Chains A and B, each alone.
Chain A
Amino acid sequence: DAGVIQSPRHEVTEMGQEVTLRCKPISGHNSLFWYRQTMMRGLELLIYFNNNVPIDDSGMPEDRFSAKMPNASFSTLKIQPSEPRDSAVYFCASSSGTLRDGYTFGSGTRLTVV
Chain B
Amino acid sequence: GEDVEQSLFLSVREGDSSVINCTYTDSSSTYLYWYKQEPGAGLQLLTYIFSNMDMKQDQRLTVLLNKKDKHLSLRIADTQTGDSAIYFCAEIPGGSYIPTFGRGTSLIVHP
A binds B: yes
Instruction: Please name all residues of chain A whose beta carbon is closer than 8 Å to the beta carbon of B99 when the two chains form the complex.
Output: 103
Nearest Cβ on chain A to B72's Cβ, whole angstroms: 15
**C-alpha gap A60/B35 in the complex (Å):** 24
The answer, among B42, B45, B104, for a CB contact under 8 Å with A106, is: B42
The answer to whether A108 and B103 touch (CB under 8 A), given A43-B88, A56-B98, is: no
Would you call A43 and B104 a contact (CB within 8 A)? yes
The answer to whether A100 and B50 touch (CB under 8 A), given A43-B104, A95-B97, is: yes
Instruction: Please name all residues of chain B whose beta carbon is closer than 8 Å to the beta carbon of A91 when the two chains form the complex.
Output: 42-43
Write the chain B residue with the least CB distance to A48: B98
**C-alpha gap A106/B41 in the complex (Å):** 8
Query: Chain B interface (Cβ within 8 Å of chain A)?
Result: 30-31, 33, 35, 40-45, 48, 50, 88, 92, 97-99, 101-104
Instruction: Please name all residues of chain B whose beta carbon is closer than 8 Å to the beta carbon of A93 when the two chains form the complex.
Output: 42-43
A61 within 8 A of B: no
Nearest Cβ on chain B to A102's Cβ, whole angstroms: 4
Count residues on chain A whose CB falls below 8 Å from chain B CBs: 23
Write the chain B residue with the least CB distance to A50: B97
Q: Which of chain A's residues 28-84 have a Cβ closer than 8 Å to chain B?
A: 31, 33, 42-43, 45, 48, 50, 56
A87 within 8 A of B: no
Write the chain A residue with the least CB distance to B101: A43
Would you call B88 and A100 a contact (CB within 8 A)? no
Nearest Cβ on chain A to B18's Cβ, whole angstroms: 20
Nearest Cβ on chain A to B39's Cβ, whole angstroms: 11
The answer, among A45, A48, A50, A105, for a CB contact under 8 Å with B42, is: A105
- Scan A77-114; emit 1 where CB is below 8 A from any B CB, else 0: 00000000000000101010101111111111000000
Nearest Cβ on chain A to B25's Cβ, whole angstroms: 16
Write the chain A residue with the least CB distance to B1: A58
Nearest Cβ on chain B to A40's Cβ, whole angstroms: 10
Instruction: Please name all residues of chain A whose beta carbon is closer than 8 Å to the beta carbon of B30 when the two chains form the complex.
Output: 99
The answer to whether A103 and B45 touch (CB under 8 A), given A42-B103, A43-B101, A95-B97, is: yes
Instruction: Please name all residues of chain A whose beta carbon is closer than 8 Å to the beta carbon of B41 when the two chains form the complex.
Output: 107-108
**What are 21 contact pairs spanning A and B, CB under 8 A?**
A43-B88, A43-B103, A48-B98, A56-B98, A93-B42, A93-B43, A99-B30, A99-B31, A99-B48, A99-B92, A99-B97, A100-B31, A100-B50, A101-B45, A102-B35, A102-B45, A102-B48, A103-B45, A105-B35, A105-B42, A107-B40
